[in-house]
Amino acid sequence: MKKTIVIKNLHDLHLFAKRFSRTLRGGDIIGLVGDLGSGKTTFVQHLAEDMGVKKTVRSPTFVLLQEYQTSKEFREKYNVSRLCHIDAYRLNNENELFAIGFEDYVERHDTVILFEWADRIPSVQWLDHYREVRFDFGEEGQRLVTYDKKSISKR
């Protein structure tokens, strides 16, 4: 079942990210879908912070794929040592995704993949452990964030 919440400001987004980060498990692939400027990269920055990533998380549009190490605490608690941040904005098909090294990260028990513009490569949604978070523009600078309720509450 899909659930949509209203995010009024950056603080709301931070709180949602905090909640969401606790549901992350190795092998997860989180599709982040929404238009330019809807908050996908900002959401990833918050999630990375919650996972103990020390480096600055920047937009990967140009580099396409970026890997980060999580903190020791996060690794010990959730068994996840790597965060893989992918941006498919410049990609056109699945072959291109594999050509940039996707197979080194997908379905690895020590890795969480955060995948911006996942809807540009429709086949990724059929991967095991795929979940989607959608960002829409609401009124007056608000964002509407839609996610699968089951996937977040079950854990």
Partner 1 sequence: MRILGIESSCDESAVAWLEAGPTGVRKLTHLVASQEIHAKYGGVVPEVAAREHSSALPPLLAALADKVAGKPDGRLLARQVDLIAATRGPGLITSLKVGLDTGRALAAAWRKPVIGINHIEGHIYANWLPGGAFDKGYGRAPDVFPILVLVVSGGHTELLMMKGHGRFQLLGATRDDAAGEAFDKTAKMMGLGYPGGPALSKLATNGDPRKYDFPRPMINEPHDEFSFAGLKTAVRYFLRDRQGSMAEQTFLADTAASVDQAIVDVLVAKTVRAAKARKVRTVLLAGGVAANRKLRGSLAARLAAEVPDVRFAEPPLEYCTDNAAMIAAAGYFNAKRARLGDWVGMDADPHWELGRQRH
Residues binding partner 1 (CB under 8 A)? 35-37, 41-42, 45, 56, 58-59, 61-67, 90-93, 95-97, 99-101, 137, 141
b/e string for 75-104 if b means 16 or more Cβ within 10 A?
Answer: beebebbbbbbbbbeebeeeeebeeeebee
* CB of residue 148 to partner 1, shortest distance in Å: 26
By C-beta, is 75 or 129 nearer to partner 1? 75
d(CA 148, CA 3): 6
Nearest distance from C-beta of residue 151 to partner 1, angstroms: 27
Q: Which is nearer to partner 1, 95 or 123 (CB)?
A: 95
Q: Which is nearer to partner 1, 13 or 151 (CB)?
A: 13
Say if CB 25 and CB 128 are below 8 A apart.
no
Q: Minimum distance from CB of 58 to partner 1 (Å)?
A: 6
Please give the backbone phi and psi of residue 123, each rounded to the nearest 5 degrees, phi first.
Answer: -65, -20
Q: What does DSSP say about strands 111-116 and 82-87: parallel, antiparallel, or unpaired?
A: parallel
Cβ 12 to partner 1 shortest distance, Å: 15
Smaller CB separation from partner 1, 12 or 96: 96
Residue type, 149: K
